[in-house]
Chains A and B, each alone.
Chain A
Amino acid sequence: MSGPNTDYDPVEVTPLKAEEVEAARDAALTAIAGAQDLEQLKQVRLDHAGDRSPLALANREIGALPPQARKEAGQRIGQARGAVNKALAERQAVLEAEHEARILVEEAVDVTLPTDRRPVGARHPLTTGAELIADIFVGMGWEVAEGPVIEAEWLNFDALNLGPDHPARTMQDTFWTEPAENHLVLRTHTSPVQARTMLTTEPPIYVVCPGRVFRTDEYDATHSPMFHQVEGLAIDEGITMGHLKGTLDHFASSMFGEGITTRFRPSYFPFTEPSAEVDLVCFVCRGVDSENCRTCRGEGWIEWGGCGIVNPRVLRACGIDSERYSGFAFGMGIDRTLMFRHGLEDLRSLFEGDVRFTTAFGSEL
């Protein structure tokens, strides 16, 4: 190793000769080109670009040159080192790419292997269906109201204009709790939630009430002692049947698709007057060439539920000024709605708890 050059005589310094530098550079470039893998290249780098490589050593000698020679030597060595570093980087990139290509190929797996290690979960379509409906109404600025399933007879019947002698009471086969004189029932509809809302809330009221209801029906493919309903109630100044129609049309198109609207037919429900049955344009055939449609059985329409203007007697029993306010109410079966929306053949599939049924629907409907 040479010490600092104190002699400013123009002396030749061997390593800085042009031919020496070029030879060192060429040797480096040859070694780089000859490196077959990253290991070899690492050694080449040490040998030809490391601290003890010829070019590095030569670089240190520059200081020993007279000032007038330093510039030229510096340039020469700088160019040589630049060429070597560039070659190294290029070779590094090439070898890395080769390495990656080989390793990644070697690491390939059979992606058709099963991966079902952890079974998937799911929420029940009746739950997610009720949520879907609730969200449609929440989107219109409504709220979701709920209530108990074991209910006072007065709230389930009397307050809704179904007096003890009302013929309609025989239409609903009710589960009574024991003893029956206690006037408690398993609610036969979610209407008592509407009654509770009216009893405790000042209008305007816009609530939708999804929930579980009970009737003493034998259990078969289309009947169940327990099923689910969604009812809606709007009480405000100036509410009309037009608002009812608009709301149900919006509900229908949100649930079944653009253009699916509703039709009203006169009907009878004690808690509404006027009352109507609601039919839905068949969302499968849309009423066109319905003859062979399995969903609507050729009708072009699907019976969906009941609705009407809230009977002022109900408003009165629930403490709402029927001179100032009017309201509308509607109700439909969630189970039935899902049955035709999803083509379910047997109502019982909803209540058997078979995971093969439920997982088909995932976690949102």
Chain B
Amino acid sequence: MKAPVSWIKEYVDLPADLTTEALTDRLTMLGLKLEAIETAGAGIEGPLVVGRVITMDPEPQKNGKTINWCTVDVGDANGTGEPQGIVCGAHNFKPGDKVVVILPGGVLPGNFEISARKTYGHLSAGMICSARELGLGEDHDGIIVLPEDAPEPGTDARAVLGLGEEVIEFEINPDRAYALSLRGIAREAALGFDAPFRDPVLRDVPAANAEGYPVVVDDPVGCPVFVARTVTGFDPAAPTPDWMARRLEQAGMRPISLAVDVTNYVMLETGRPIHGYDRDKLQGAIRVRRAVAGERMTTLDGNERTLSSEDLVVTDDSGIIGLGGVMGGETTEMSDTTTNVLIEAAHWDAVSMFRTGKRHKIGSEAGKRNERGVDPTICEAAADRVVELLVEHGGATAEPGVTVVGVPPEAAPIEIDADLPARISGIDIPAGTTVALLEAVGCSVSVAGDRVTATPPPWRPDVTDPYDLVEEVVRIVGYDRVPSVLPRRATGRGLTREQRLRRRVGRVLAGAGAVEVISFPFVGEASFDALGLAADDPRRNTVGLANPLSAEAPSYTTTVLPGLLEAAGRNLGRGAPGVTLFETQIVAIPADKGPAPIYGVDRRPTEAELDELLAAIPVQWTELGVVLAGEQERGGWWGPARTAAWQDALALVDRLAGDLGLEISVESASVMPWHPGRCAKVTAGDVTLGFAGELHPKVCHAFGLPERSAAVVVDLDALMRQAPEVVSGPVFSTFPVAKEDVALVVDEGVTAGAVEAALREGAGPLLESVRLFDVYVGEQIGEGRKSLAFALRFRAPDRTLVEGEAGAARDAAVARAAELTGAVQRA
């Protein structure tokens, strides 16, 4: 909302020495936030004066244009008192007119310096100005012609034009609809400076009578008040007075025609949207009702609209002539031949206005005010003000008929403890102050003991609750008086186990050289295709978005991978030799339990209701993903680079499990997007945690990653659930260790894990650890065979092993391995 300072001051007597900054500071602290202060005519310097055209001689030019060679009286402003010779291209004036002249040495907006210069065969000493050249608007053709009562030639023209006038732009919160008017803003200024306020709607209005235009309201809930007035004999060619056009422009509205401009002006002044009809196009009585679903009408923006049974419409005998309170219809619109005008000032139900505006996607200045709530008591005054301005500036005659249907709804009284504002704000606010301030905002207040009852004024439909009264009091007392006190009763128990574990996972991975990324969770079929997922892969069953930002990514993701792999590709594309990235992403699958219920808010939902609500929400969990691509260790003087491979993925899983004290096991798996022969399923107990290994070459290609890139995907929630809550302190022996190495030859298909397990089983309780340290394949052991070398360590908890004990345990381990895996000890 833009408000010229001079317009505000029309209704409030502010201190004479009050600066605009001080005014906006105070209004900001009252809740009308300053957006910007604009100054009209900024950028104009030097002599800008009133001139009177003495002579003008049209001179046709070879280029087809006709210029006017003028002499202009500029008084003493040019230092000589002689008329000034000026060439002017405009034609909308005549000798004797008062105009605006900028003399040589002056500067126009855009740093356009004016000097005397030769043009069209004359020495043109200055310029007769248009509004556009002065930066006062875009819509005026021709130069500015001042009214005859403008000051004498030579007078500085700035005051005449309202230059230098400041316009304040406010950001108006949805609850302060009353401030979408000069009336409201001036009232706040009066409140802020305890200054006298003159309410522009306080005027004598003619009483309702039977001669007014016939109006029937079928839906008094949707339209509690409908006021109609008529003027006749309006001159549709009458110009909008300059001051009105200027104010409209300052307020950000485009002047259109006097009749339209007057309705807009009164809306800005009072906050009450007004609609004007061409009365000669009306047929029979006006009727307000709800539409019948499917009815059609064309609004004055030319759009045909199909209506809902919730829309409020204005009709006459011809049918629908307006979407009540939101936008008028095409058939009864005022035109440049309209002479008889019917003025509607009606109060509309805000919720209906909001729904209709949203349904038909109409955002108008009228709708904005009607849907937020307008003072219902000012319809008659606003209509009368429109009549007055049309009579005064359009030569119209006011008809005596005054139609008033309905009565304004009344605000309900609100009762509070007198100390509630003090109790809630923490500021010491005496009861007397509370009463005085509530009265200052316009409430009618009564006090009974410790209770205060306040009935909000009609322009404050937003004030409905006890805490609304608290805000009114506290904002005037001043938010800057709120003390700064720490609450002292918080007794939290720190982070939860999950929160601590999540941090720990991040630290472990960062410690292992991985860099965390955060990606958008939006995916499309192409993402799943790139991952090589089969058509029936459950990961394609996504939670879809009704209004995605991009048609390519219309779903919420079921896997952390797409964003993560894209980030890896992006880094490599930008020249990184290799990356290890990790991400924890919340992933989701549909709950398929139907719609989530919408409950009322006048009580807490029951447990059963809450359960039903929660069940309808998609299943969500946190997935941890790691991608390893390209160089994992850089090359250098120490040796060549080492690029990512499947075992890097598994090593990270081991490292993570080790840190969390979690026993995991791995087995071969074949799952996209991994290489079918280089993928491991990771489990803890009987719970599958995820997969790790080398990515399928096609997937690497799809994401721009080098082959052999590897990835890990783990259900982080499951991992954290499996992790031991408290690690038991380890017990270990300090007696000497006995080491035994064995090399076992097995068939190629036998896994190292199986051999190791058999060794462990056979070795008995003295075994401390088994570690595979070499794998050999070659002629010495024969086709289809491999040799696995293990280091076994034996130790007793309570003594030094005697000679032969470790050897015997080793033999037992080998025997068990032979039995279970066909292993033969290598000679």
Contacts and interface: CB of A to CB of B under 8 A. Distances in A.
Interface stretch (A38-46, A84-92, A180-188): A180-188
A350 B516 CA distance: 11
Interface stretch (B127-135, B144-152, B284-292, B488-496): B488-496
Interface in B452-489: 465-468, 470-471, 474-475, 479-480, 482-487, 489
Main secondary structure of the interface of A (DSSP, over half): mixed
Interface residues of B, number: 110
Interface stretch (A24-32, A73-81, A109-117): A109-117
A319 interface: yes
A17 interface: no
Contacts of A243: 426, 485-487
Contacts of B511: 121, 363
A124 B637 contact: no
Nearest to B515: A355
Interface stretch (A63-71, A93-101, A163-171): A163-171
B169 to A, nearest CB: 16
Given A168-B174, A184-B616, A353-B518, A246 B637 contact: no
A266 B509 contact: no
A172 B346 CA distance: 30
A171 B580 CA distance: 40
A204 to B, nearest CB: 5
A340 interface: no
Contact of A176 (B512, B546, B586, B617): B546
Interface stretch (B52-60, B79-87, B225-233, B600-608): B600-608
A181 B546 CA distance: 10
A147 to B, nearest CB: 9
Contacts, number: 308
Interface string A31-67: 0000000000000000000000000000000000000
A261 to B, nearest CB: 7
A241 B487 CA distance: 11
A256 interface: no
Nearest to B372: A167
A143 B492 contact: yes
Contacts of B546: 175-180
B509 A121 contact: yes
A189 interface: no
A250 B487 CA distance: 11
Contacts of B413: none
Contacts of B599: 154, 158
Q: Which of A119, A245, A264 has the most CB of B within 10 A?
A: A119
Contacts of A155: 613
Interface string B541-563: 00111111100000010000001
A117 B638 contact: yes
Contact of B507 (A120, A143, A244, A363): A363
B492 to A, nearest CB: 4
B175 A268 contact: yes
Contacts of B492: 138, 141-143, 206
A353 B466 contact: no
Interface in A311-363: 311-313, 316-319, 326, 350-355, 358-359, 363
Interface of B: 28-31, 33, 173-176, 351, 354-355, 358, 371-372, 423-427, 465-468, 470-471, 474-475, 479-480, 482-487, 489-496, 499, 503, 506-507, 509-522, 543-549, 556, 563-564, 566-568, 570-571, 574, 576, 578-581, 586, 588, 594-599, 601-605, 610, 613-614, 616-618, 620, 631-634, 636-638
29 contacts: A117-B638, A120-B513, A122-B510, A123-B506, A138-B494, A141-B491, A142-B492, A143-B492, A144-B499, A158-B598, A161-B601, A168-B174, A184-B616, A186-B545, A216-B547, A234-B487, A242-B427, A246-B485, A247-B486, A264-B480, A265-B29, A265-B479, A267-B173, A274-B475, A316-B601, A317-B602, A358-B515, A363-B506, A363-B511
